[in-house]
Amino acid sequence: MRFATPSRRDLLFGGGMGLGSIALSSMLAAEEGPLTPKAQQIPAKAKHCIFLLMEGGPSHIDTFDPKPKLAQLHMTRFQKERNKFEANMNTGERYYVRSPFEFRRAGKLGVEINSLLEGFAGCVDDVCFYRGLKAESVNHPTALYHLNTGTQFGGDPAVGAWVSYGLGTENQNLPSFLVLPDVAYPQGGQANWSNGFLPAHYQGTPLRSQGTPILDMAPPPGVTPERQKMTLEFLSGLNRRHQAQHPGHADLAARLQSYELAFRMQAEMPGIVDLEKESPETLALYGIGEANADADSLGRRCLLARRLVQKGVRFVQVIAMGWDSHDYIDKAHGSRLRAIDKPISGLLTDLKRTGLLDETLVVWAGEFGRSPDNGIRQGSTAWGRDHNANAMSVWLAGGGAPRGAVVGATDEVGGSAVEVVHPLRDFHVTLLRLLGLDDGKLRYFHAGRDKQLSQVGGEVIRELVA
């Protein structure tokens, strides 16, 4: 059994320096804390990651992987048997359904994308579309856990936690791993950004989706910075004395450091979350201020994500919900596509024009794809699609990913991945590789063995690394 070794900071405070100032504590944290910047294990361009999570399972067939064959098969009835990649709802009497959307060719390659993505069409030459990915679960919570943590059971560290563990952070005044949720948390809740068995320093920090992203950023009226600092110094002394009596208690150390981080955040975070400092041109680029409330909300979170990585935050996850379209997919997916077009195209455009795209990996993914058929639960004019783990599309941009490329393919109806086929663990290994981390070396000893994001190892998808 292994025990955490007290750091030099712990020894200093334990030796009578518990009443040292917050400034001294901050310097020591920057010098050798758990989030101190670490060198990449493998040379890579990406230093940061913005992970755009489309919660609910967007349909690859209706977004970035159109299937003309379905127009010929539309409303053709067939009998479908269950397999391990299908939910029970996908069995029995089924009907193939065509996409209700039109598609357009975009970029130098003429990649076919949904015509509603007018702004995104201008970004296609900076994007690598991957159509060969497979998930393993068609249940939303377990599939989200699998996408976000590498296991379907929850309780393991999220991808962002592993990245923070491997690389630290470039800004000691901000959390290394931040989450920007939608109006509600995704299914499975906070376990989607958990630190799991890693020390608590690496857990994701969610911000509020409405109103002020962080409450209590300013001290109460009448409390001067000097008085607040004296109070925190006194509390720090008491906390350090308690910590000295419990050496090797990692959760306690993380809690104390979180108090110090909160104090430091009060100086830097207000300026970052104040989006009104941006130019009207930039706000409009992200769709902020438009009548579409969903686009405005996502635009604010995407712009905040850019500002956070610009300030050195290592991993930012932006969540957009509402993709679970079992019925009326034309209305449901149509609404989602209109809501994400300007925010996401604005993000890519902004990262590129500020020079951040080269060092920022942007990932777009849902927890699984959707089926080419449905049971027509509401009638012949209200078709949608069921869950499908056997085929899903994701895309990458920036940070060393190929630009203007399409990798992999699904069959003629979009039911299964058939070219450059890989499981999620390989996708996770590839994301780590693009950020300069080796899944085989990025390990943490827990419960009697070394553990890693891929669980049992995986391989880099070479076609996704430029």
Please report the pLDDT score of residue 311 as a whole number: 95
What digits encode the pLDDT tens for the residues 199-238? 998 999 999 877 666 655 666 676 776 776 777 677 777 7
CA pair distance 45, 435, nearest whole angstrom: 7
Domain ranges of the chain: 42-203+276-464
52 sits in which H/E element: strand 48-54
What digits encode the pLDDT tens for the residues 144-202? 999 999 999 999 999 999 999 999 999 998 999 999 999 999 999 999 999 999 999 89
Please report the pLDDT score of residue 287 as a whole number: 97
Whether the predicted pLDDT of 5 surpasses 60: no
What digits encode the pLDDT tens for the residues 32-48? 688 999 999 999 999 99
What digits encode the pLDDT tens for the residues 81-117? 765 555 545 556 788 999 999 999 999 999 999 999 9
Q: Which fold has domain 42-203+276-464?
A: Alkaline Phosphatase, subunit A (3.40.720)
CA pair distance 127, 120, nearest whole angstrom: 10
| Contact (CB, 8 A) for 51 and 160 | yes
Mean pLDDT of the chain: 87
Please report the pLDDT score of residue 28 as a whole number: 38
Confidence of residue 9 (pLDDT cuts 50, 70, 90): very low
Q: Which one is predicted more confidently, 75 or 453? A: 453
What digits encode the pLDDT tens for the residues 404-460? 999 999 999 999 999 999 999 999 999 999 999 999 999 999 999 999 999 999 999
Structure-block tokens of residue 167: 């690389």
CA pair distance 376, 76, nearest whole angstrom: 12
Please report the pLDDT score of residue 34 as a whole number: 86
| Average pLDDT, integer, range 13-42 | 56
The pTM assigned to this predicted structure is 0.86
Sign of CA dihedral 26, 31, 34, 38: positive
Q: How crowded is residue 385: how many other Cβ atoms within 10 Å of its Cβ?
A: 26
Whether the predicted pLDDT of 252 surpasses 70: no
Please report the pLDDT score of residue 242 as a whole number: 74
395: β partners: 129, 364
